[in-house]
Amino acid sequence: MSGSSWPLYEVFVRGKRGLNHVHVGSLHAPDDEMALRNARDLYTRRNEGVSIWVVRASAITASSPDEKDPFFAPSGDKVYRHPTFYDIPEDVPHL
Protein backbone atom coordinates (compact mmCIF):
# COMPACT_ATOMS: atom_id res chain seq x y z
CA MET A 1 0.00 0.00 0.00
CA SER A 2 1.17 3.48 -0.71
CA GLY A 3 1.84 5.32 2.52
CA SER A 4 1.87 8.79 0.96
CA SER A 5 -1.44 9.78 2.49
CA TRP A 6 -2.58 13.30 1.83
CA PRO A 7 -3.67 15.68 4.60
CA LEU A 8 -7.31 16.01 5.58
CA TYR A 9 -9.17 19.20 4.61
CA GLU A 10 -12.51 20.47 5.91
CA VAL A 11 -14.82 21.92 3.25
CA PHE A 12 -17.20 24.88 3.64
CA VAL A 13 -19.66 25.90 0.93
CA ARG A 14 -21.66 29.09 0.46
CA GLY A 15 -24.95 27.87 -0.97
CA LYS A 16 -25.86 31.18 -2.53
CA ARG A 17 -25.08 34.87 -2.20
CA GLY A 18 -26.19 36.24 1.13
CA LEU A 19 -25.65 33.01 3.09
CA ASN A 20 -22.76 31.96 5.32
CA HIS A 21 -20.32 29.28 4.31
CA VAL A 22 -21.45 26.04 5.94
CA HIS A 23 -19.36 22.99 6.74
CA VAL A 24 -20.29 20.17 4.32
CA GLY A 25 -17.67 17.50 4.95
CA SER A 26 -14.04 16.70 4.43
CA LEU A 27 -11.63 15.24 1.89
CA HIS A 28 -7.97 14.43 1.36
CA ALA A 29 -5.79 16.42 -1.04
CA PRO A 30 -2.06 16.95 -1.54
CA ASP A 31 -2.26 20.74 -1.34
CA ASP A 32 -4.67 23.67 -0.96
CA GLU A 33 -5.30 24.12 -4.64
CA MET A 34 -6.12 20.47 -5.25
CA ALA A 35 -8.30 20.48 -2.14
CA LEU A 36 -10.35 23.26 -3.71
CA ARG A 37 -10.71 21.41 -7.03
CA ASN A 38 -11.58 18.14 -5.31
CA ALA A 39 -14.12 19.96 -3.15
CA ARG A 40 -15.74 21.36 -6.28
CA ASP A 41 -16.01 17.87 -7.80
CA LEU A 42 -17.14 16.22 -4.60
CA TYR A 43 -19.48 18.70 -2.94
CA THR A 44 -20.89 20.86 -5.74
CA ARG A 45 -21.84 18.46 -8.56
CA ARG A 46 -25.34 19.97 -8.68
CA ASN A 47 -24.81 23.69 -8.25
CA GLU A 48 -24.82 23.46 -4.46
CA GLY A 49 -22.53 26.41 -4.09
CA VAL A 50 -21.20 29.73 -5.33
CA SER A 51 -18.07 29.77 -3.16
CA ILE A 52 -15.92 27.18 -1.38
CA TRP A 53 -13.47 27.41 1.51
CA VAL A 54 -11.06 24.59 2.28
CA VAL A 55 -8.89 24.48 5.38
CA ARG A 56 -6.54 21.86 6.72
CA ALA A 57 -8.31 19.98 9.50
CA SER A 58 -5.14 20.28 11.60
CA ALA A 59 -5.46 24.09 11.51
CA ILE A 60 -8.84 24.11 13.24
CA THR A 61 -9.06 24.73 16.98
CA ALA A 62 -12.32 23.47 18.45
CA SER A 63 -13.96 23.69 21.84
CA SER A 64 -14.02 20.41 23.68
CA PRO A 65 -17.38 18.73 24.23
CA ASP A 66 -16.25 17.56 27.70
CA GLU A 67 -16.12 21.11 28.97
CA LYS A 68 -19.27 22.08 27.13
CA ASP A 69 -21.10 23.14 30.29
CA PRO A 70 -18.40 25.32 31.90
CA PHE A 71 -17.34 26.68 28.51
CA PHE A 72 -20.77 28.00 27.60
CA ALA A 73 -21.91 28.65 31.15
CA PRO A 74 -20.97 32.37 31.23
CA SER A 75 -23.78 33.20 28.81
CA GLY A 76 -26.32 31.17 30.76
CA ASP A 77 -27.17 33.74 33.42
CA LYS A 78 -27.17 36.81 31.22
CA VAL A 79 -30.83 36.91 30.35
CA TYR A 80 -30.56 40.69 29.95
CA ARG A 81 -28.82 40.05 26.62
CA HIS A 82 -32.18 39.04 25.15
CA PRO A 83 -34.82 41.54 24.04
CA THR A 84 -37.58 39.67 25.89
CA PHE A 85 -35.90 40.56 29.21
CA TYR A 86 -37.31 44.07 29.03
CA ASP A 87 -40.90 44.97 29.91
CA ILE A 88 -42.30 47.53 27.50
CA PRO A 89 -46.00 48.48 27.35
CA GLU A 90 -47.70 46.92 24.33
CA ASP A 91 -48.92 50.25 22.98
CA VAL A 92 -45.42 51.59 22.37
CA PRO A 93 -44.97 51.31 18.60
CA HIS A 94 -41.98 49.98 16.66
CA LEU A 95 -40.11 48.56 19.67
Partner 1 sequence: MDLEREFERVVAADHRIEPRDWMPEGYRKTLVRQIAQHAHSEIIGMQPEGDWISRAPSLRRKAILLAKVQDEAGHGLYLYAAAETLGADRDDLTARLVEGRQKYSSIFNYPTLTFADVGVIGWLVDGAAICNQVPLCRTSYGPYARAMIRICKEESFHQRQGYELLMTMMRGTRAQRDMVRDAVDRWWWPALMMFGPPDEESANTERSLAWRIKRHTNDELRQRFVDMSVPQAEKLGVTLPDPKLAWNAERGHYDFGEIDWAEFWRVVKGDGPCNAQRVAHRREAHEDGAWVREAAAAYAAMRERAA
- Binding residues (CB under 8 A) for partner 1: these are 1-6, 8, 25-28, 30-31, 34, 41-42, 45-46, 62, 64-66
Contacts of 76 (CB under 8 A, 6+ apart): none
Rounded to the nearest whole angstrom, what is the least distance from the CB of residue 89 to partner 1 in the complex? 39
Q: How far apart, in whole angstroms, are the C-alpha atoms of residue 56 and residue 27?
A: 10
Q: How far apart, in whole angstroms, are the C-alpha atoms of residue 20 and residue 13?
A: 8
**5 vs 84, beta carbon nearer partner 1:** 5
Q: How far apart, in whole angstroms, are the C-alpha atoms of residue 66 and residue 46?
A: 38
**22 vs 50, beta carbon nearer partner 1:** 22
**70 vs 83, beta carbon nearer partner 1:** 70
Rounded to the nearest whole angstrom, what is the least distance from the CB of residue 26 to partner 1 in the complex? 5
